[in-house]
Amino acid sequence: MTADRDIRAALDRHWAASDANDFEAEHEIYHDDAVLEYPQSGERIRGRRNIQASRFAQPNKKRFVVRRVLGAADLWVTEFILTYDGVPSYTVSIMEFKDDKVARETQYFGDPFEPGASRAQWVEPIR
């Protein structure tokens, strides 16, 4: 149970640092040989320093709003809204831990879309 609390605290620090553009603190959570994958763009980045450099090179202003974090032991999922230059992207991060550090992360992105009229009678807005 203590390990889960420690990982959850590390995730909270990670997402807060991500939102603050604190690139050093943001990447403390990763193993030196961590792997980050973006399946939708077909990209894989190997190594904590390469992950950090790729994010530092991102020219857009970004913000992170965490909606929820779920997990236990070595598998944790964060659902968040990543906003680049004011445009939101609904994002899921799946992190696999080894020895209290992220060994592998996979991120999936989904753009917002208009609600479907055919289901309007059952829908409750969440924004």
Q: What is the pLDDT of residues 44-60, one digit of tens each?
A: 999 999 999 999 998 88
What are residue 79's phi and psi, to 5 degrees? -105, 125
Examine the pLDDT at 111 and tell me if it is beyond 90: no
Q: What is the pTM of this model?
A: 0.91
- State which CATH number among 3.40.630.10, 3.20.20.370, 3.10.450.50, 3.40.50.10860 fits the domain covering 2-112: 3.10.450.50
Please name the helix (run of DSSP H) or strand (run of DSSP E) that holds residue 48, with its range, or none.
helix 48-56
Position 100 confidence tier, pLDDT thresholds 50, 70, 90: very high
Examine the pLDDT at 8 and tell me if it is beyond 70: yes
Examine the pLDDT at 70 and tell me if it is beyond 70: yes
How much is the pLDDT for 1? 63
Please report, as a single letter, which amino acid is at residue 59: P
3-state secondary structure of 87: strand
Give the whole-angstrom CA distance, residue 25 versus residue 16.
9
What is the domain partition of the chain in residue ranges?
2-112
